[in-house]
Structure 1
Amino acid sequence: MKRLCFGRQPADTRYRYHPGMPFSEGLPRSNSTTFSTMSRNFYLTSNKGNMLIGEGATRIFDYDRNYSCMLSVHVLYDAYKGSKEAMDMLNNNFDALVLPMANEIRPNLNHVSLLKVLEQIKIPVVVLGMGMQNEMEDLSALEPATVDLLRWIDERALVFGVRGTQTETWLKKMGFKNPTALGCPSMMLYPENILNIKAPTRKPEDYRFVTAGYLQKKSVRGKQLAKFFTGQKCSYVFQDEIFLFKEELQGRHFFDDARNQLLQNVFEPLVNEAIGTPAPFDKYFYFDSVDAWRQCYGWHDVFIGDRFHGGVAALQVGLPTAILFKDLRVKELSEFFGVPHTTVDKACTMGIEAFMAEFMSEERINAFLDTYRTRLKNFHRHLTEAGLSMTENYQAMLMAA
C-alpha cells in the first residue's frame, strides 16, 4: 500500500484550496492575531489535540508521499454531492483509506456523509483510535448513522482500531466482532523519546512544569489545577478555552504569534477572575503547529495536566508525564498505555510533592514503559499484517524495545 489517503483529523492549521487544482497546496494561516481570525483558524482543526492524532497517523507509515494526501473525505462527498466521479477519485488514486479518529462514538454526532463515502469505497479502509465520549447503556443513545457507520466498519474495514479496552469491551457487548484496542496513533510517533523517559527525582521546586486543562469561567477543574501548581514554576497550554473569552478579547491585542504566547498582562486577570483564585502560571501558550508545541515543551521538565493530548506532546519529547482526568476519554487512553494517572480531585488533595512521589516514581514510570513496549509491538503487528509498512525509525526502535 503505497498511495494512502488520510481521511480524518488535520495535522496542522492550514487552509484548503477549494478548487483543488493539481499540485496545489493549502496555505498556512496569516499573521493576523485578531480574535475572529484565530477563531477561523481554530475551525480548521477544532480541538488542538486533534492535530497530534492526524500528524501521528501520517508520519509513522512508509508510503509514497508524492501520491498520497490528507483529505476530509466527508467534505469531498458534500462538496460534490456524493457524485460517482468524486468517489472514483478515491477508488482510482489510492490503495487504502486511513481514518485517524477520536471520540467519534457519542450522541448527537452525525456521520451520514462519512458513511456514504464508505458505502461507495472499493479500496481497503483502516480505522485508528476510534473511541467513546462517555459510558452509554446501549446503541439507542447514538444517531442512526453512527450505528450504521460502526456496523460498516465492523463488517468491512481491514482494521477496526479503537482507542482502548473500554471502547473495545463496550462495542463487543453491543454485538460488534472486530474492534481491536490499538490506542491512539499519536503515541506511536516518537517511541525512542518515550522509551528514554526517566522518573523525576528532585523536589518540585527544581523543575519547570508545563500543564494543560480547563481554565474557563466557573471551572472547578481549572481552580483545582491552579491550586495544585501554586508556588511552582509552571507554564499553561490552552487548547480551546481561549475562545470562551470572546467578549473580553474582541478588539484587543492578546497573542504573540511568533512565540505562540498569550500576553500575560491580558490573560492573567481574565484567568484569575474566571476561576476565582490567583493563577500561578507565569507563561500561557496556544499552538497552531505541533512542531512549535513540542519545541516549547522541550525547555520544560515535567508535564502534569488535565488534557491527554497535551500530555502526548510532552511524551513525544521525552518528558516524564502524568495525566489528571475527569472523563472516560482521558482515563481510557491513560490506562491503555499505562501513563501514570489519577483524578483531578485526588491530585489536588495530595499536593504536588506527594503526587510526584507516588505517581511519578521510578516504579510507576518503569511500569508505564513496560506497558508502552507491549502496545508499540501490538500496534506494529496489527498494521503490518494489514499490509501497511512502518518507517525505518519505528522499525529500529521496535527492535530496541
Structure 2
Amino acid sequence: MLDEITKDNTLDQPALKMAEPSKPLRVAILWKHPSLGLYSNSAFEDLYNGIGHNNGNLAFVHAIASHISNPVKFFGWSASAETLRDNADIIVIPCANQLGRHTDYGNMADNLEKSGLPIVAIGLGAQADSYDQDIQLTDGTYRWTQVIARSNPSSSTSNIYTRGAFTSSQLDKLGTHGSVAGGCPSYFTNQEPGLGKKIHKQWSQLPLPRSISVAAGHQAWVKTRNIEHQLIGLMMDPMYPGQYVVQSMGEMIRVSRGIFDDIDPHALKEIHNHTVPHYSFEEFKAWCRNYVRSFYDVPAWMDTLRRHDFTIGSRYHGVALALQAERMGLTVTIDSRTRELCENTGVPSVAASDLTAPLTRSSLKKMINFDPDAYDRHRSEAASRYLDFLTANRIQPASFLHRIAASK
C-alpha cells in the first residue's frame, strides 16, 4: 500500500499542500483456502474441498495471488454480497473451464450482482470436445457471464481475461464482446525472465529423458487408456523411477492418499484397469502407495517436478508446472480446453489421436520441438498484455511481471 508522503516545513515558507496518493483497491479473491496449512494430517474431504475438487486449480490460484500487489483477502464462492461489499472494492475470480454445460452458476450470479462490486475474471476457459463445436451453457452460467461483463465500470476495456481465442470467440457468440485472449495466468508462476532458455538448457543436455513424471488422466477416459499404460511403463524405470501425479477426480485422489476402503468398488476397479491391470488387486494397492502422488501446494509440487527429466500426460496444469519449474513437458491434448491452454502458453503438446505409434523415450524426445527464444518472446508479449489488462482494471501488478514483459 502506498504510504502518505509527508514533508517538513521551514518556518519562513508556507506549507505546500501535497496531494494524497490514491489508495489501491481492496481485492477479494474468490478462493476459500489460500493455504491448506499442515495438510499431511487433514481429513480427505477437507483437502478435497480445499483444492476445489481438482489439484490443478492450485496452479492458477497460486499464480493469480502472486500477481496482485493490492491488499487481498480470500473468500469462498458462497460469501454473501454484504461480506464482499464490507471487505473489498473489487472482486477477482480465478477461473478455469467454467464455460460448459457442466456448470450452473445462477446462484453465484445473483450474489455477485447483489454485491454491486466490479468483477475481474482471470483465466476463463470454454470446454468443448473440439474447436469445431460451440459450447452449451446452462441458463445460470450464461447469466453469470453477463453479470461479470456488466460489472465492468469501463466501456473501453474488458474485465474478462480468457484462456485463448477460442474462449473469446465463444463469448462473442454469447454477446459478451472484447474479452482479452490471454492464456492461463500460471504461465507467470516462475518469476524470472528467460525461462525458455533454462528449460532448453536442461533438456538439450539429455540424450534421452530418464525419470518421467506422468500427469495422470482419469479412469473414465477409455480412449486414452492405451497411452496411459505406455506412460506408466516408461515411468516405472528401476534405475530412474518416476511418479504418477493425479489431479482429479475424487477416486483418483483418494488412491494417492492410500484411501481405498471409501472408494466405490466399480470406480476402484476402473482405476486398476486404467493403470496396472496386470497386477493383482493387492499389488495394485502397493503400486499406488509407491508411485501415485497428489499435491496440495504449488511450491512442493514444482519442487518434486524438478527431480524428473520430463513430465507428460493429459493434465495441462500438471505439465505446465513442470515448465515453470524449468523442466520439459508434453501435454497430451484431449479436447478444446487442453489444446487452447497449450497454444496460448507455449507448452508443447500432441493430440491424443496422433499417438498411434509405440511410445518410447526416443519417440518422446523426437516429439519435442521447443524453440527457447520463441517461448521467451511469446511469454514476454503475453506478460505485456496481462499487465495492460490488470492495470486497466485498477489492479496493481507485482513487479516481476514487469521484468518478464521487458525481457523481449
* Pairs within 5 Å for 1:354-369: 355-363=363-371, 365-369=372-376
Q: What is the distance in 2 between the residues matched to 1:311 and 1:245?
A: 17
Structure 2 letter corresponding to 1:235: Q
Shift of 1:61: 1.3
Is there any run of 5+ residues in structure 1 with no aligned partner, and where? 15-27, 78-86, 253-266
What letter corresponds to residue 276 of structure 1 in structure 2?
A: P
Does residue 225 of the first structure (1) align with residue 225 of the second (2)? no
Aligned residue type for 1:198: H
Q: How many residues align?
A: 355
User: Residues 204-258 of structure 1, C-alpha deviation per residue, up to 9 Å, x if partnerless?
Assistant: 6553221212263784424313314634543211112561597994459xxxxxx
* Residue 13, structure 1, aligned to residue 36, structure 2: yes
Contact kept in structure 2, 1:204 and 1:352, CA below 8 Å:
no
Using the alignment, how far apart are the partners of 2:151 and 2:25 within structure 1?
A: 21
Query: What's the counterpart of residue 74 of structure 2?
Result: 70
Partner of 2:44: 38
Letter in 2 for 1:377: S
Which residue matches 2:14? none
The answer (yes or no) to whether the contact 1:132–1:329 under 8 Å persists in 2 is yes
- Residue by residue over 1:346-398, the C-alpha shift from the partner in whole angstroms, topping out at 9 and shown as x without a partner, is 245263445444432343x4433332222122111221222222222222233
Rg larger in structure: 2
Match of 1:124 among 115, 118, 121: 118
Residue 12 (structure 2) aligns with:
none
Q: What TM-score results when the alignment is normalised by the length of structure 1?
A: 0.77
1:317 Cα deviation after fit: 1.1
Measure, in 2, the Cα distance between the counterparts of 1:215 and 1:145: 27
Q: CA deviation at 1:39?
A: 3.9
Partner of 2:17: none
Give, as a single letter, the amino acid of the residue that structure 1 aligns with 2:27.
Answer: L
- Determine whether 1:240 maps to 2:243: no
Q: 1:165–1:218: structure 2 CA closer, same or farther, 3 Å change rule?
A: closer
What is the CA RMSD across the aligned residues, in angstroms? 3.3
> 2:141 aligned with 1:146, yes or no?
yes
Q: 1:59 aligns with which of 42, 66, 69?
A: 66
User: What are structure 2's unaligned runs of at least 5 residues?
Assistant: 1-23, 153-157, 263-267
Show the counterpart of 1:3: 26
Mapped partners of 2:150, 2:210: distance in 1: 50
Q: Say if 1:221 and 1:9 are closer, same or farther in 2 by CA, change over 3 A.
A: farther
- AA aligned opposite 1:343: A
Distance 2:254 2:232 in 1: 26
Q: Does residue 101 of structure 1 match 2:95?
A: yes
Superposition map of 1:137-216 within 5 A: 141-157=136-152, 159-192=159-192, 194-195=195-196, 196-198=198-200, 200-201=203-204, 205-214=208-217, 216=219
Using the TM superposition, give the Cα deviation of residue 174 of structure 1 relative to its aligned residue in structure 2, in angstroms.
3.0
Contact 1:98/1:125 (CA < 8 Å) preserved in 2? yes
Q: Secondary structure at the match of 1:314?
A: helix
Quickly say closer, same or farther: Cα 1:372–1:273, change in 2 above 3 A: closer
8 A contact 1:303–1:321 mirrored in 2: yes
Which residue does the alignment assign to 1:294?
A: 302
